[in-house]
Amino acid sequence: MPSESSWDDKLLGALTDEWVSAEALAARFQAKPFTVLARLKDLLRRNLVERKIVKHPTRIYAGRPIQQALFRRTQLGREP
């Protein structure tokens, strides 16, 4: 599937050691957030990216902070 490998190349090229949201990546590539999130999920399954869940500092829904997923490239060779 050529479209998937091109998304892999785009996302892996854009991800660094810094945590970034799927929305920020979608804005960078002028793509729909759902598309970027689906591709990131695929990379996550293949252990090419890491994900962490954080509370969004300014957005609240039903009295609770909204959670947001942040992604970065998998850190190879790091010590536990």
Convert the pLDDT of each residue in 4-41 to its tens digit. Answer: 558 889 999 999 999 999 999 999 999 999 999 999 99
Q: Which residue has the tokens 């729909």?
A: 32
Alpha-carbon distance 65 to 30, whole Å?
Answer: 27
Assigned CATH for 2-73: 1.10.10.10
Task: For residue 42, give the nearest of 16, 77, 75, 3 by alpha carbon.
Answer: 3
Residues 22/3/11/57 CA torsion (nearest 10 deg)? 0
Domain boundaries, the chain: 2-73
Q: What is the pTM of this model?
A: 0.77
The structure tokens listed for 60 are: 């609240």
Convert the pLDDT of each residue in 44-77 to its tens digit. Answer: 999 999 999 998 767 777 777 788 899 999 987 6
Distance, C-alpha 19 to centroid of its chain: 8
